[in-house]
Amino acid sequence: MKKKIKEIKSVFSQDNPKIKKQIDRVKEKGHQRMTILVIPHGYDSSFHFQISVFTILFFVGLTVGLLSLAIFGIVRSNNTRSQINQLSEIYGNYFDTYLTHSNQLEEMKEEYSKLNENMLEIFSLIDGQDDELLKIPGEDAIKSASYELLQREEREDKQLDIGRKYLNEIYDLRYLKHRMTSNEKLVEVNFEYLFTRAAVLSSTPLFNPMYSYNLTSQFGMRKSPTSGFWEYHDGLDMANATGTPIYATAPGRVIKVAYSNVGYGHHIIIQHEFGFNTLYGHCSRIYVRSGQIVKTGDMIAEVGATGNVTGPHLHYEIILSEEGKTDPEEYLQSGIY
């Protein structure tokens, strides 16, 4: 193996006569000079100079190299400019999105501030207890806690360069989130109150027991139409023709269907939630039975003249479990129905 390598070296060595001869021939041609004659236009004189083949080849190679470098630079410049334009377009889209979200964040902050003020106002109107508000941290405490948590995340974020911070909008968004979380108790208290009030309202007998009637006797002291003596009237006398439909004034359960010769005649008592009871007296016909569940506006009976009466009408009462009988006209004039 070493012998073959030695033979190859000897073949390509400059000491080889053939190789040496070829090199000499190239040098000889390279050192040959060419005469270049220059004759300026309009001048009688001329001048010439000589240049070797090697020099010509050098300048040709230099020119080709410079041209190649220039073409490469132009192509690279165009590619770079194209990439810059693409990045500029992407940046512009991101910046537009950033501005949109920033404006939306400002709107959210403004809307939430208004909402929070309204919640506090509702809380004051429902006689909310101050100890409930004491459970809500102050604005400074909420901001400090949210910023501290976000700064801790910044320090732990490996994708964030050293010394860099999150955008101010990130801080504002986190602060808004903490405000919403901290005020959940206020929302819950208001919701519980309003939900309870809505339930009470839906169970309150506010519906008119008849679509039309003539109010012949109001709640309170009156002169009895049958005995002629002064007496306390426990309800309203609502006159209409016999057979006029009578409707339940609130949802509930029928707890009594009875008849009395000297009192209400054929009458119904319906029990509603939150301590309300309603009585419908002097009916001619009854369409419900004891224990039946009725809804607001269900037809339960017809106007009649049964019991101690002078003419067909509905005697209507509202009884509260704690206060007793109350004036039904105050409920009928509420304007809900």
Q: Alpha-carbon distance 277 to 282, whole Å?
A: 17
pTM of the full predicted structure?
0.55
Domain termination residue (choose one: 181, 203, 225): 203
Structure tokens at 329: 């006209």
Domain that holds residue 241: 214-332
Is 268 inside any structural domain?
yes
Residues 116 and 191 in one domain: yes
Q: Which of 203, 235, 261 is the last residue of a domain?
A: 203
Using DSSP's 3-state secondary structure scheme, residue 16 falls into: coil
Q: Give Dmax (Cα) for the chain.
A: 160
Number of domains in the chain: 2
User: Which has the closest alpha carbon to 245: 303, 316, 295?
Assistant: 303
Q: Are 258 and 300 in contact (CB under 8 A)?
A: no
- State whether 222 and 328 are in the same domain: yes
Q: What is the pLDDT of residues 24-71, one digit of tens each?
A: 676 666 566 677 766 777 666 666 667 777 777 888 888 999 999 999
Is 174 within 8 Å of 150 (Cβ atoms)?
Answer: yes
In a domain, 3, yes or no: no
Mean pLDDT of 11-30: 64
Terminus-to-terminus CA distance in the chain, angstroms? 116
Read off the pLDDT of residues 130-173 as tens digits, 9 standing for 90 and up: 555 556 666 777 777 777 777 777 677 767 666 677 677 777 88
What CATH number has the domain bearing residue 247?
Answer: 2.70.70.10
